[in-house]
C-alpha cells in the first residue's frame, strides 16, 4: 500500500499523466483498428486506467466513507441545482428528443449501461480520489482535477473531432468545474453520479443507434469524414 505522501503525489500527477497517455493511445488505436474500433478500444483502456488508478491511490476505508456520506445540495443551492441539472437537460433537448425515433428498448438498456460505467469510473477517479486525498483543499480536491478532466477530452477528440472543438472543450471545462465544485462542497460523488449518468445516457442512446444503423455506410466513408463526426453530448467523451 502506498504511503500518504506517495498517494498525494500520484493524485497530483493524474491530471497530467492520464490526458497525455490517452492522447497518445487513441490515435495509435485508431490507426491500427480504424477510427470507430480504435475510438471504442481507447475508452476501454481509459476505463481500465481509471479503475486501476483509483484502486492504487485511494485508501479503501476513505473511499467507503466518502461513498456513504450523506450528500446535500451546497449553498448557493440555485447554482448547485444548475450544475447538476443543466448538463442532462442539454443532452435531453439536443440529442435524445430530436432522435428519439431512432432508439429502441435494447438500445436504451445499452445506453444506460454504458453511461453507468462511464460515469462511475470517471467520478471515482476525477472526484472520489481527490476528495479522499485532499479533503478541504480547493486546488487539489476541485480545480486541478477539473483541469485534468477537461484536458483528457483532447484524447478522444484526436480521433473524432467536434465541429466546434473550442466550444466542445469549453463545455467540458464548465461541466468539470461545476461538478467538481458540487463534489468538493458536499464531500461526496453521489449527486454528481446521478447527473453524470443521466447526461451520458442521453447521448449514448443516440450514439448506439448511429453505431448500429450506420455501421455499413460508415465503413465506406473516407476516414477524414469519420474524424469530423461530432461527438455527442452523452458520448463517452463527455
Q: What is the pLDDT of residues 27-63, one digit of tens each?
A: 999 999 999 999 999 999 999 999 999 999 999 999 9
- What mean pLDDT do residues 146-164 have? 94
The terminus-to-terminus CA distance of the chain in angstroms comes to 32
Percent residues over pLDDT 90 in the chain: 70
Confidence of residue 168 (pLDDT cuts 50, 70, 90): confident
pLDDT tens digits, residue range 183-194?
999 999 999 999
Ranges of each domain in the chain = 4-227
Q: How far apart are CA 179 and CA 182, in angstroms?
A: 5
Q: Which of 10-24, 30-44, 89-103 has the lowest mean pLDDT?
A: 89-103
Candidates 65, 68, 66, 62; CA nearest to 1 is 62
Helix ranges restricted to H, 34-134: 35-57, 60-68, 77-91, 105-123, 129-134
Q: Is the pLDDT of residue 11 over 60?
A: yes
Candidates 124, 168, 118, 174; CA nearest to 146 is 174
CA torsion sign for 77, 153, 7, 144 is negative
Amino acid at each position: 500500500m502506498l504511503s500518504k505522501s506517495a498517494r498525494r503525489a500520484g493524485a497530483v500527477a493524474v491530471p497530467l499523466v492520464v490526458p497525455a497517455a490517452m492522447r497518445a493511445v487513441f490515435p495509435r488505436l485508431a490507426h491500427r483498428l480504424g477510427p470507430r474500433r480504435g475510438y471504442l478500444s481507447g475508452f476501454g483502456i481509459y476505463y481500465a486506467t481509471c479503475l486501476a488508478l483509483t484502486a492504487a491511490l485511494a485508501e479503501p476505508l476513505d473511499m467507503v466513507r466518502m461513498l456513504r456520506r450523506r450528500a446535500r445540495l451546497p449553498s448557493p443551492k440555485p447554482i448547485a441545482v444548475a450544475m447538476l441539472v443543466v448538463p442532462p437537460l442539454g443532452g435531453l433537448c439536443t440529442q435524445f428528443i430530436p432522435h428519439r425515433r431512432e432508439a429502441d428498448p435494447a438500445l436504451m438498456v445499452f445506453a444506460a449501461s454504458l453511461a453507468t460505467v462511464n460515469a462511475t469510473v470517471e467520478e471515482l477517479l476525477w472526484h472520489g480520489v481527490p476528495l479522499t486525498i485532499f479533503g478541504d483543499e480547493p486546488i487539489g480536491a476541485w480545480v486541478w482535477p477539473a483541469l485534468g478532466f477537461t484536458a483528457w477530452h483532447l484524447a478522444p477528440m484526436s480521433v473524432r473531432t467536434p465541429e466546434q472543438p473550442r466550444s466542445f472543450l469549453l463545455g467540458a471545462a464548465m461541466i468539470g468545474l461545476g461538478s467538481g465544485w458540487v463534489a468538493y462542497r458536499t464531500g461526496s460523488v453521489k449527486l454528481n453520479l446521478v447527473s453524470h449518468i443521466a447526461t451520458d445516457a442521453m447521448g449514448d442512446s443516440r450514439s448506439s443507434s448511429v453505431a448500429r444503423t450506420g455501421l455499413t455506410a460508415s465503413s465506406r466513408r473516407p476516414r477524414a469524414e469519420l474524424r469530423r463526426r461530432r461527438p455527442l453530448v452523452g458520448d463517452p467523451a463527455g
